[in-house]
Chain A
Amino acid sequence: MLNKFDIQIREAREHAVIETSGYLNDALGEQLAEKAQELIQGGYTQLVINLEQTTLINSIGISILIEIIEALTEREGTLNFCGLSATQERTFRMMAIAKYAGIFPDEESAIANL
């Protein structure tokens, strides 16, 4: 397999952190969406997605992140991203994702700003 990817979940009382690693494409994106839906169904409306170990994000991966933003918007929740590369952050801002989700340099600040 060319693309080795992984998802780690860290649940706290008020929020949960999803950390992805590898290439965020349709395959990893679908797994990420599934995990996010499980957390949302379980009552979490404050999520952080840590992309520090995520090497590349393609447009299909971005579309799945937008679906998670929408799912949280419906529940008046909040999504913050952290660990983005400069190129990823520029792409997120260009695609208006930054309008609906926070972007922070590290997990600590992303959690603090939920």
Chain B
Amino acid sequence: MSDKEKKVLLTIPMYPDMELAAAKTASVLAELKGFDEGEVEEIQLAIIETCINAFEHSQSDENEVHIQFLLEDDQLQFKITDRGVGITSDTLDGTRLLGNPGLHPDLPKRGRGLQIIRSLMDEVDIETSPDGTTVSVIKRKKETTP
């Protein structure tokens, strides 16, 4: 694969289920790079959660999410950018969305997306400002024993 082919760009509208278009693209690229079935599912779930966060919180007038996939030998990186209003620290740590603790305080119903992304991926970096947010995520391939 040439250097030019290592980058894939995708723009999706913020419509219901469009996160599946991003997940499908991620799935194809991850399989192409030799990630196993479990890793592909983890990547799909992480990109779905990242897209949903942008859909729900960006308040973007543009109403689009821009995704850049970067493929390297041992890892897949995706950067998801929205041109919304940025996100606050209480949204980042999930506390803004926790709301009523319900019957089981250790089982909050909302604000878990970022926790899922961080648990499944190797690196998660968030850059946010009043001009928008970019979430950069890296998944490395598991080392296989010879």
Contacts and interface: CB of A to CB of B under 8 A. Distances in A.
Interface in B100-130: 102-104, 106-107, 109-110, 112-113, 115-116, 119-120
A73 B103 contact: yes
A40 interface: no
Interface residues of B, number: 28
Interface of A: 1-3, 23, 25-27, 56-60, 62-63, 66-67, 69-70, 73-74, 85-87, 90-91, 94-97, 99-100
Task: State the majority secondary structure of interface residues on A.
Answer: helix
Contact of A91 (B16, B44, B45): B45
Interface string B10-49: 0000001111110100000000000000100110110011
A74 B21 CA distance: 38
29 contacts: A2-B21, A3-B20, A25-B17, A56-B23, A56-B44, A56-B48, A58-B19, A58-B49, A58-B52, A59-B112, A62-B112, A63-B112, A66-B107, A69-B104, A69-B107, A70-B104, A73-B103, A73-B104, A87-B41, A87-B42, A87-B45, A87-B120, A91-B120, A94-B115, A94-B116, A95-B115, A96-B106, A96-B107, A100-B104
